Every structure is written in C-alpha cells, then in structure tokens.
Amino acid sequence: MPEFVNQDLTGSTFRSCNLVDVTMRGVELNRVTIRDSEVVDLDIHAEIVRLTVNGVDVGPLVEAELDRRYPDRPKMRPTSAAGFRAAWDTVERLWAGTVERARRLDPDRLHESVDGEWSFIETLRHLSFATDCWVRRAILGDPSPWDPLDLPWDGMADTPGVPRDRQVRPTLDEALALRRSRMGTVRAYVDGLTDAGLAGQTQPVDGPGWPPARAFPIAECLRVVLNEEWEHRLYAERDLAVLESRSKAELA
C-alpha cells in the first residue's frame, strides 16, 4: 500500500475510499471534515481542540475525563511560581516510580520499541532534549546546550550541531545520569522562580537549534516541559506494561 511521508495533502478530498487499518503519526488534521462515513474502532491520541462528533464538541469531555482518571493532571497547568514548583514536585515523584518499574525489566527490554514508538531509553533521551531546548536554550540562553545523547523528535529536520543518534544504546544508568542533570536544572530554576519572573519573556538566542531564535513567554516554555514530562511518562507506562507481558510470555 502507498506510504505518504512528509507530504502536503492540504485540501485533498477522499470520496468512497477504503481507509481501513490506516496509521497516521505526526499529522496535522486541522479543519478536517468527515461526513456520511462509518467510524468503527478509531483510536485517537492527540492534542484535541474543538473535536465535534455528531454535533457534540467532545474536547471538553475528554479533558474532564482525563483529569478524573489522573488527579495529578490539573497540576500540569500552573499559573504561579508556586504552582510550577508543585508541578515539578509531581513530575519528580511520578517519574521516580516509572524508573523503578523499568529497573525490574531485563536491560535489553528498555531498548525495545512497542508499536513503533520510542524505547524507554529513547524516551529518557528525548526528555533531556526537551529540557535543553526550552530551559537551557530558551530560558537560560545557552545557544547550544545539547548533549550527544539528546534525541530530537523524529519530524525535526537535521540541524547542524544538534545530535540525533538513533543507533547508540546507552545503559539505563547512563541515560539517567543525563536525565538527573537536566531535571536538576529545572529544579533549580523553578525553586528560584518568582511570579514576576514567570510573567517575563526570554531573550532571543542566536544559532541553529530549537526553539527558533525569538522571544517566548517564560510560562509557555515551562508548560512545554511539563507537557512533555506528563505525556511521555504515560507513554512509557503504557509501553512498560507491554514489555512486562512480553517477559512473562517468554518465561511461560
């Protein structure tokens, strides 16, 4: 079957098409309309804004249900310096449990992909990259904060000076050493954060990398990091459950 990679299908029309077993990753579905169609077993995991199903905007319903399932989730939307400190407390606590769960698996399992997603080690590497981008580069002003183990998201274009080594296989402790360093950077920053500082903006940083060389609200930078931490931990927990099942099946 055809595979569309880095294609712009803006404005396309699909009529009487069979889209059974279609997989979409990293796509933009803004202003998409589906009419007179059959939708069965559709699994969506995405940032949802104004998703209308049969005349009902289900976005607020989804948000409310996720907050109910995960009581810590509302803490990831802080509006004050104290709120960001409390949010980071939560991130540290939840990730400590996830790492402990990962340690119970055979180390090789932590390099395994589940359904084409990042391995556990790759997830840790990506979170270090996110901190380097939005805290060390955007907020603290280091134009090139990258570590060789940093892992950008797959859709990011290759950028001079920004590492992207998908073949390296660091141990869990090696990945965690970098992770602890980057989490410590965030901890130190939010511990010294004031409400006045939170209301400020970053200074543009020259040089190749991400984010672009422009000013950003500091609160926005920190919320990006919180969102990355929250969502990727859920992905990791989901995939660790699969890896645990694989291990049990091999022992049976």
Over the stretch 143-196, which tens digit does the pLDDT of each residue have? 999 999 999 999 899 999 999 999 999 999 999 999 999 999 999 999 999 999
Confidence band for 26, pLDDT divided at 50, 70 and 90: confident
Q: How confident is the model at residue 24 (pLDDT cuts 50, 70, 90)?
A: confident
pLDDT at 48: 86
Q: Quick check: 190 and 84 in contact, CB under 8 A?
A: yes
Q: Indicate whether 112 pLDDT > 90.
A: yes
User: Does residue 1 surpass a pLDDT of 80?
Assistant: no
Retrieve residue 219's tokens.
């609160």
Q: What pLDDT score was predicted for residue 134?
A: 98
Which pLDDT value is given to residue 227? 97
pLDDT of residue 3: 83
Distance CA 24, CA 31 (A): 16
Phi, psi of 52 (to 5 degrees): -105, 120
Angstrom CA distances, 12 to 8, 15, 22, 91, 110, stand at: 9, 10, 16, 41, 40
What's residue 192's pLDDT? Answer: 98
* Cα 247 to Cα 252: distance, rounded to the nearest angstrom: 9
CA-to-CA separations, 64 to 19, 60, 71, 90, in angstroms, rounded: 30, 6, 11, 20
Q: Name residues whose C-beta falls within 8 Å of residue 145's C-beta, 6 or more positions apart in sequence.
A: 132, 133, 136, 137
Give me the mean pLDDT over the 197-207 stretch.
Answer: 95
More confident residue, 44 or 135: 135
Confidence of residue 252 (pLDDT cuts 50, 70, 90): confident
Angle of CA points 211, 149, 89, to nearest 5°: 70
- pLDDT, mean of residues 197-201: 98
In the numeric block, the tokens 């390099």 are attached to 111
pTM of the model as a whole:
0.90
186 or 23, which is more confident: 186
CATH number of 75-251: 1.20.120.450
Q: In the predicted model, what is the mean pLDDT of the chain?
A: 94
- The structural domains of the chain, with segments of one domain joined by +, span 75-251
- Degrees, nearest 5: CA angle 177-93-77: 110
**Worst-scoring range by mean pLDDT, 42-56, 99-113, 223-237?**
42-56
DSSP 47-61: --SS-EETTEE-HHH
